[in-house]
Amino acid sequence: MADNNQVEIIKEKADIVSIVERYVKLKKAGKNYVGLCPFHSEKTPSFNVSPDIQIYKCFGCGKSGDVITFIQEIEKLDFREALEKLAKETGVQLETIQRDDPFKLYYDLNKLAAEIFFRLLKANDQVKKYLYSRKITDADIEKFKIGFAPGNNIVLNKVRERYKLNNKQLLDSGLFIEKGGIFRDKFINRVMFPITSASGKIIGFTGRILPNDNYGPKYMNTPETYIFHKSKNVYGLHQSKPDIRKQDLCIICEGTTDVIAAHRDGVTNIVAPLGTSLTFDQLTLISQFTKNLLFIFDSDFAGQKALQRAFTIAEDLGMNSYAINTKPYKDIDEVIQNKPGLFSQMVSEKRTDAYTYLIQSEYETLDITVKEDLEKLNYYSKQLLTHVRDKGKEDFYKKKFREIVGERAAIEIQERGYGLSQKESSDKLSFEEYYLKILLSGETVSIPDHHDLTIFGNSMVTSILDIAKGLKGASISQLHKKLNKSLQQYLEIILLSSQLATSEELDKIYSRILKIDIQQKIANARVKLALAENMKDNESVDRIFAQINDLMAKLREVKT
């Protein structure tokens, strides 16, 4: 493989604008360049190139990458061939360097542990009997390499027999714990579910406690290690990857046993987060295989919040999201245990787009004949639509909103002047994203001291601004390099959007964000006021009424 430093040198020397212009007629648009995409047919230019961060992105077909990726795509070359072509052009002498994977040891240790757990389960009729009672079959055990960890240090002893490891390496594997200088197996008396990378390497485990055993939590994951990051991986991707690609859809559920049950029932394009809320990194991983997602979360408040978060991340990544619930059954596993074949039918027949699902669910908890409830639902819709970049999709969602609330309520919202979206005329960026683009329209990063970043609701924009604040005077390229991969991808979408930005607009757009923040606080306060009035809580009524007056005064001071 080529030295990473050589790859970076080639990318720095091979100016992406000059390279792309050999294949695409580009036109200057602000700090970027735009042209007709060479990868799909289009009449309106949606292919953008950023000289600042040396990347391209098409907002039509979704293709994106750096100069090496572009040459790979346009010339139909593999990575090495594209690298050699650009190395020749830039005068960089490529060297072949053989390198051992620094983390190979930890992959090997996990593989050994998985083999031991699998073998121990095969020999333990009592644990198998428990799994059979949960409808987990021998075929399931074989497919997902389910095992059993007795906790008698069998893994530790086998590892010490095969490897000469120091204490740090033992702890870094995530398989062992140490107390008072004594090491032992981390997983004790648990059913073990190996967690694999997309390529099939075992990177960690989820261990479920057996019945009538109170030793520790019900589920226990491998801790964060060099190769296992809970927020960046999902369960079942390796087994489900072929059918996710084939069906161009990834189903995302809540638990490992749901994934296993779904596979048993013939639904084999499904994954689950690893005991955490769905993250940007997890959906970025899934986006390599499909842009279409079907969420199946619990119908309770926590499930709704999880779905709302998942929807906003999916829209930020330009993905399509759908949702269903498993009512009257608790979860997928229960559906399949009671009615085999029904889950597959639900997936194909019951799903709706996630926006409509969320609005309908919120609507059912409110009485929109009450002014405050209608206002609350409208603001909820605004929060969701802030993340929608596709104009056609946004229009579709607005139509769905009107269908749910009825034309009379929709007209009432219009008459109050609230509208159904927080967006400017551009269909690309929300106010907060537009603020970020304006901020980065100059040569260096500089956030005005009087701008309060706590009013921003978009967590990804806030994360980038927080990092930018510590890099006052840095270039856009320097900021880009300081971000993690997820934030880099998000920033690239903003920088390459078609909406032009000039620094003169920064204070104006900040005022618009401030105004929305205050309006949101007023709306929330009015809902609380109505509740306090219904409860005849006069003290709270007076306090909230005073808060609303203060907020109204602040709102009048905002210049837009």
pLDDT reported for residue 97 = 41
Q: Is 200 left (phi over 0), alpha (psi -120 to 50) or beta?
A: left
Using CA atoms, how far apart are residues 318 and 320, in angstroms rounded to an integer? 7
Report the pLDDT value the prediction gives residue 246, as an integer from 0 to 100.
93
Distances (CA, A) of 536 to 22, 311, 466, 524, 529: 73, 38, 43, 18, 10
User: Are the C-beta atoms of 194 and 246 separated by less than 8 Å?
Assistant: no
- 143 with 196: CB under 8 angstroms? no
Cα–Cα distance, 231 to 38 (Å, whole number): 35
pLDDT in tens, 256-269: 999 999 999 999 99
Q: Which of 310, 326, 359 is the last residue of a domain?
A: 359
pLDDT at 488: 85
pLDDT at residue 52 tops 50? yes
Q: How far apart are CA 116 and CA 118, in angstroms?
A: 5
Total tally of structural domains belonging to the chain = 4
User: Does one domain contain both 84 and 114?
Assistant: no
Quick check: is 371 in a domain?
Answer: no
- Predicted local distance difference test score (pLDDT) of residue 416: 55
pLDDT at 239: 96
289 with 215, same domain: the answer is no
- By residue range, what is the domain housing residue 41? 4-90
Q: What is the mean pLDDT of the chain?
A: 87
> Among 461, 319, 295, 490, which Cα is nearest to 393's?
319
- 136-142 long-range CB contacts below 8 Å, 24 or more apart? 136/257, 136/260, 137/264, 139/264, 140/260, 140/263, 140/264
Q: What is the 3-state secondary structure (H, E, C) of 478-542?
A: HHHHHCCHHHHHHHHHHHCCCCCCCHHHHHHHHHHHHHHHHHHHHHHHHHHHHHHHHCCCHHHHH
Claim to verify: residue 246 and residue 340 sit in the same structural domain = yes
Lowest-pLDDT choice from 5-9, 388-392, 436-440: 388-392
- Please indicate, yes or no, whether residues 331 and 261 belong to a single structural domain of this protein: yes
Which pLDDT value is given to residue 95? 67
- Domain membership of residue 159 (yes or no) is yes
Q: What is the pLDDT of residue 83?
A: 86
Cα gap 3→94, rounded to integer Å: 8
- Give 477-498 pLDDT, tens digit per residue: 888 888 887 788 888 888 887 7
> Contact 507/448 with Cβ under 8 angstroms?
yes
pLDDT, residue 495, reads 84
Whether residues 437 and 559 share a domain: the answer is yes
List C-alpha distances in Å: 434 to 178, 357, 422, 424, 548: 50, 28, 12, 9, 29
Q: Which of 188, 211, 228 is the endpoint of a domain?
A: 228
Which pLDDT band holds residue 427 (cuts at 50, 70, 90)? very low
Contact 19, 65 (CB under 8 A): no
DSSP H stretches of helix in 14-149: 16-20, 67-75, 79-90, 104-122, 125-133, 138-144
CATH code of 73's domain: 3.90.580.10
CB 93 within 8 A of CB 87: yes
pLDDT of residue 379: 83
Helix, strand counts (H, E) of the chain: 25, 17
Percentage of residues of the chain with pLDDT beyond 70: 94
Residues 184 and 246 in one domain: no
Q: Which residue has better confidence, 60 or 528?
A: 528
Residues 184 and 252 in one domain: no
- For residue 414, tell me if it sits in a domain: no
Residue type, 248: D
Residue 330 and residue 245 in one domain: yes
- How much is the pLDDT for 2? 54
- Tell me, yes or no, whether 322 lies in a domain: yes
Report the interhelical angle of 354-363 vs 301-316 (nearest 10°).
150
C-alpha torsion 463→464→469→474, nearest 10:
150
Report which of residues 162 and 538 the model is more confident about: 162
Minimum mean pLDDT among 6-20, 139-153, 439-453: which range? 439-453
Query: Residue 333: its pLDDT value, please?
Result: 86
Phi/psi of residue 500, each to 5°? -80, 150
Across 286-295, average pLDDT? 91
* 360 against 427, higher pLDDT: 360
Clarify whether residues 134 and 80 are in a common domain.
no
More confident residue, 97 or 280: 280
CB 406 within 8 A of CB 434: no
280 with 211, same domain: the answer is no
Per the structure block, which two tokens stand in for 384?
């969701």
Closest CA to 405 of 350, 372, 364, 351: 364
Per the document, the length of the chain is 560
Asked whether residue 370 is assigned to any structural domain, the reply reads: no
| Cβ-contact 261, 336 below 8 angstroms | yes
Residues 6+ apart with CB under 8 A from 363: 377, 404, 405
Q: H or E stretch including 204?
A: strand 202-209
Q: pLDDT tens-digit profile of 181-233?
A: 999 999 999 999 999 998 899 999 999 999 888 778 899 999 999 999 998 89
Domain assignment of residue 34, yes or no: yes
**Domain identity same for 454 and 491:** yes
Compute φ and ψ for 241, nearest 5 degrees: -50, -45
What phi, psi does 326 have (nearest 5°)? -105, 15
Quote the pLDDT of residue 154.
Answer: 95
CB 122 within 8 A of CB 89: no
**Whole-number pLDDT of residue 132:** 96
Q: Is residue 302 part of a domain?
A: yes
- In whole angstroms, give the CA distance from residue 310 to residue 315: 9
Which of residues 359, 375, 403 is at a domain's end? 359
Does the structure show a pLDDT above 60 at 463?
yes
b/e per residue 128-152 (b: at least 16 CB within 10 A): bebbeeeebeeebbeebbbbbbbbe
Residue 296, pLDDT score: 94
Mean pLDDT to the nearest integer, 106-125: 97
133/216 same-domain check: yes
